[in-house]
C-alpha cells in the first residue's frame, strides 16, 4: 500500500493531484530562492492574517523553507498520499488536503503570537495521517493489520520528531492530525457497523518471535528508516 513501484509516467497518471502538489512545491521552492518578495507576500504571518490577508492561511501549505524541508514533505506525500487519493477521488482528496492544511494554519493563528510566521505542508500531511488513524481503529475494512502497524509506527515517529525539533510548528502538526481525524468520517463514511479495532488486534505479536517479512515490507521499512534519518539530519542543515 505504501511501497511505490510505479514509474514516473504511471504515477502521474494514477495520482494526478499528488503529482500536481509536488510540482507546485518544487516550483514555489525555486521561486522563493530567487524572490524574497514573493516569500514575504505568501508566508503565513499571523499579524498580516489578522489584518485581512487571508490567503496566507492557504499559501504556506505549498511553501518550504529549505531543500531538505521540501524533499522531506514531498517524499512523505508521495509515500502516504496515493492510497488516499485513490480512495477519495481527485475532488474529495484535494478538498480534504486543503481543509486539513487550512485548519492547521487557523490553529496556528489562534494559538501562536501575532509575530509568528510559518510555512510548510506538514499540517496537511498530518491531516492525511489523521485520516489513516481513523481507518486504523474505526474503518478496519479499509486498512489491514500490517498497514495499520505501519501507520501507528509512523505516527509515533512523527510525534517524537515534532517535539525534538524546536523549529517545527507543533501546533500545525497536532491540529492537522486532529482535523484529519475529525474530517475522516465525512469523507470516508462510517462503513460497516462494527466495534472499533483494538490495539491488541493490531499488534498481536508483541513479545513473540516475529515471522520473516516479505520483500516489499523490507523495502518500506528501509525507506521509513531513511526518512527518519533524513528528518533528524535536516535539523542540523
Pick the catalytic residue from 64, 69, 118, 173: 173
The model's confidence at residue 236, banded by pLDDT at 50, 70 and 90, is very low
218: pLDDT strictly greater than 80: no
Q: For 122-175, what is each residue's pLDDT tens digit?
A: 999 999 999 999 999 999 899 999 899 889 988 888 888 777 777 789 999 999
118 is catalytic: no
Q: Pick the catalytic residue from 64, 122, 198, 234.
A: 122
pLDDT tens for each residue of 34-62: 999 999 999 999 999 999 999 999 999 99
Band (pLDDT 50/70/90 cuts) for residue 231 is low
Quick check: 225 pLDDT over 60? no
Distances in Å between the Cα of 190 and the Cα atoms of 132, 135, 161, 185 are: 14, 10, 31, 6
Q: Which residue bears the cell 516479505? A: 214
Quick one: pLDDT band at residue 226, thresholds 50, 70, 90?
low
Which of 51, 171, 67, 166 shows the shortest CA–CA distance to 111?
A: 171
Cα–Cα nearest to 132, from 88, 164, 101, 172: 88
Residue 235 confidence (pLDDT): 42
pTM for the model: 0.87
- Cell numbers 525539533: residue: 165
Half-sphere exposure of 174 (CA within 13 A, CB side): 10
pLDDT at res. 191 = 79
Q: What domains are there in the chain, each with its CATH number?
A: 8-236 (1.20.1540.10)
Question: CA torsion, points 63, 68, 73, 75, in degrees to nearest 10?
Answer: 130
**Inter-axis angle of helices 90-111 and 170-188, nearest 10:** 140
Amino acid at each position: 500500500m505504501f511501497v511505490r513501484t510505479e514509474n514516473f509516467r504511471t504515477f502521474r497518471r494514477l495520482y494526478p493531484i499528488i503529482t500536481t502538489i509536488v510540482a507546485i512545491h518544487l516550483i514555489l521552492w525555486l521561486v522563493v530562492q530567487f524572490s524574497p518578495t514573493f516569500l514575504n507576500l505568501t508566508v503565513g504571518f499571523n499579524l498580516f492574517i489578522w489584518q485581512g490577508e487571508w490567503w496566507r492561511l492557504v499559501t504556506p501549505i505549498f511553501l518550504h523553507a529549505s531543500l531538505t524541508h521540501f524533499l522531506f514533505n514531498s517524499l512523505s506525500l508521495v509515500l502516504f498520499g496515493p492510497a488516499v487519493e485513490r480512495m477519495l477521488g481527485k475532488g474529495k482528496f484535494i478538498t480534504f488536503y486543503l481543509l486539513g492544511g487550512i485548519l492547521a494554519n487557523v490553529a496556528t493563528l489562534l494559538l501562536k503570537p501575532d509575530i509568528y510566521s510559518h510555512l510548510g505542508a506538514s499540517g496537511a500531511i498530518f491531516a492525511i495521517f489523521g485520516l489513516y488513524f481513523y481507518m486504523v481503529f474505526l474503518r478496519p475494512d479499509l486498512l489491514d493489520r500490517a498497514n495499520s502497524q505501519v501507520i501507528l509506527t509512523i505516527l509515533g515517529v512523527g510525534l517524537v520528531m515534532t517535539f525534538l525539533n524546536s523549529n517545527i510548528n507543533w501546533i500545525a502538526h497536532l491540529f492537522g492530525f486532529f482535523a484529519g481525524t475529525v474530517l475522516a468520517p465525512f469523507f470516508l463514511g462510517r462503513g460497516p457497523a462494527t466495534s472499533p479495532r483494538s490495539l491488541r488486534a493490531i499488534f498481536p505479536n508483541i513479545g513473540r518471535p516475529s515471522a520473516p517479512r516479505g520483500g516489499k515490507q523490507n523495502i518500506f521499512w528501509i525507506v521509513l528508516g531513511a526518512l527518519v534519518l533524513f528528518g533528524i539530519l535536516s535539523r542540523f542543515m
